[in-house]
Amino acid sequence: MFSGQSTSSFASLFTSGAERVSPTTTSRQHRDTTPPAALHPYEPLAQDGVIAAWESNRAIHLRGRAEQEPGATVTLSFNGESWHSTVNHWGYWHATMPPSILQGLADGNYSLTLTISDKAGNSTATEVGFGVYVDKTLRPEISVAPVSGDNAISVAEGIYGVEVSGLVTHMPLNSHVTLTLGNRSTTALVDEHGAWQATFTPEDLHALPDGVYQLQVSARDPNGKTSTVQHELTLVTHPESLPHISFDSVTADNVINFAESQQDLMLSGTLSALTPGQKLELCVGDNVYHAAIDAQGHWQAIVPAGEVSSFISLGEVRVYALDAAGNSTDTTLELNVVTTLPDIYCEMNIGGDTFLNAQEAQQPLSFYLEGVNQLTLNGKAYTPVNGMVTLSVADLQALPDGPVSAMAERWDSYGNHDSQTLSDLFTVAVHQLPSLTLQQPFGDGVIAPGDMDHWHLIQGSSDHLTQGSLVTVTLGDRHYSAAVDESGEWSLTILAGQLATLEPGSYQMSVSAQDKAGNLASAVRTVTVEDAGSTDFSATTIDSLLAHYGAGEAIPDAAAAGSEPDHHYGSSDAAWTLADHLQQQPVAALI
């Protein structure tokens, strides 16, 4: 019925008859310019579109139907050669390609051309793809691209399922690649470039326990050659698999004291679960510390001694649990840090100052001391009670004169402790007491009437009084003052006329002074004032003395006269008249 290479004799006769039609008749016919419908084979070439080795020695057939085009020519073209057939009067066509055309072809995907040409010369071509896989020495080679970029699927990624892709060789277009993950399987189709892609759904992932899997990818070529590769894939897609982070006490009392801040610091705890690729990081500022994790989930991290101070400075540590899939849980560890002791505060008042004199040492001394657990003073330990420290009289008497220093011992319940010296806590002046001497005043202790208009030097010495200490001399109701010099001596001058108010009789001239601690020194001499009869050294007397100079008479200037009373001050008791004194002092000062 069909001929692949020549035209039938019937067709030749039909053509000859057509050539004898008159031109007049031809001009009346309608010219057909509509191309025939494209051919669609009933089935792929070789039934499955692939010519395998066992099919390579057989003729290659394509068949179909073009019911509107009986008598049309069907041409099969491939690799530069063509084969022809004719659509029969029922509209069926059948084209054949000899197996020899495959010789020398490399395995792979090809296409041939099916062309239908109607009687009017219109034609339509159709490409038909097929594969040639006749080399039995080859087998598929499979590669798998990294899944999700890191071959690990996290909780967030598992919500949408996961795509797996790769390449395969020696596999026809639209052939299948099979993927198996745990007890879940799926398939992928191979495209014209050998690429394939498959998806495991969220339901697939949910059905698989978290862990590390070997994804199996298999392919079987048309010759029955099978290849399988394994690709490691980590699944951590269940939120309940993520660990909870717990902490052990950082120290025995969970408080970091000063000593502990100067040595390596170990932090530890437990993870409630372990996921593949589990890691734990401790972060403070820009510093990250990695913890070691054992098979039971116990973890620990060491902070070197030199970094502990900065590690604890913020008072908290951010801790992250990470896994191979990129899941992360975190929490904050609050650090209890006490590395300093309270400041020492002392409040002491010994008669308004911090000097302990002999009189004050006759009674216990109490003072307030804060921030000290034990005070050692002069070899004896004292424990503050409600902040108060009390030194007994015996303890005070046992202290040597001079500044008192004490050793303060401090500690707290967190293990901090230190010792500090409290210098100059107070000053003791109990044993080396000051003393004064008073030389016999007025030469013999007697103030005669003639002594009234003379000045008199009063002097003495001292022990244990510092230079500049004030010495007060009292006679009657008059008080005079002097200062102790660098050698411990003191002196003052009673000016002429200053004794005039003394009534005849016996008096006690007393001299007194006190040291910085308030210790009092004194000395006493008896002074007798002789009776001068009715002598009244009053304002009238002073007026007569002033008249001695006369109005307009210049008062001698001490400097001009070469006389400086300061040179006599404290040097002798030679006569020095009231008139001499009046040259140095305003008269009003004596009235």
pLDDT tens digit sequence for 369-385? 999 999 999 999 999 99
CATH 2.60.200.20 fits 9-133, yes or no: no
CATH number of 142-239: 2.60.40.10
Rounded Cα distance between 179 and 164, Å, is 9
User: Residue 87: its pLDDT value, please?
Assistant: 94
Class of the CATH domain delimited by 245-333? mainly beta
C-beta separation of 439 from 462 below 8 A: no
User: Residue 547: its pLDDT value, please?
Assistant: 54
C-beta separation of 414 from 430 below 8 A: no
Question: Strand 446-447 vs strand 520-529: parallel, antiparallel, or unpaired?
Answer: parallel
Whole-number Cα distances in Å, 222 to 49, 53, 103, 185, 551: 10, 8, 18, 22, 157
Rounded Cα distance between 412 and 415, Å, is 6
Burial of 556 (0-12, 13-18, 19+ CB in 10 A): middle
CATH architecture of 345-429: Sandwich (2.60)
Whole-number Cα distances in Å, 390 to 378, 387, 497: 14, 10, 55
User: Residue 10: its pLDDT value, please?
Assistant: 33
User: Residue 517: its pLDDT value, please?
Assistant: 93
pTM of the model: 0.63
- Please give the sequence-ordered ranges of beta strands (E in DSSP) within 304-377, or none if there are none: 316-322, 328-334, 345-347, 355-357, 365-370, 374-377
Question: Strand 417-429 vs strand 355-357: parallel, antiparallel, or unpaired?
Answer: parallel
Average pLDDT in the chain: 87
Q: How many CB atoms lie within 10 A of CB 88?
A: 15
Rounded Cα distance between 59 and 77, Å, is 14
User: Residue 357: its pLDDT value, please?
Assistant: 96
Q: Is 156 helix (H, G, I), strand (E, B) or coil?
A: helix
Rounded Cα distance between 299 and 398, Å, is 60
- The stretches in the chain having pLDDT less than 50 are 1-28, 534-542, 545, 548-591
Rounded Cα distance between 400 and 428, Å, is 7
Quote the tokens at residue 188.
């992928």
C-beta separation of 109 from 192 below 8 A: yes
How does pLDDT run across 273-328, given as a tens digit for each residue? 999 999 999 999 999 999 999 999 999 999 999 999 999 999 999 999 999 999 99
Q: Which residues make up the CATH 2.60.40.10 domain(s) of the chain?
A: 9-133, 142-239, 245-333, 345-429, 435-590
CATH topology of domain 435-590: Immunoglobulin-like (2.60.40)
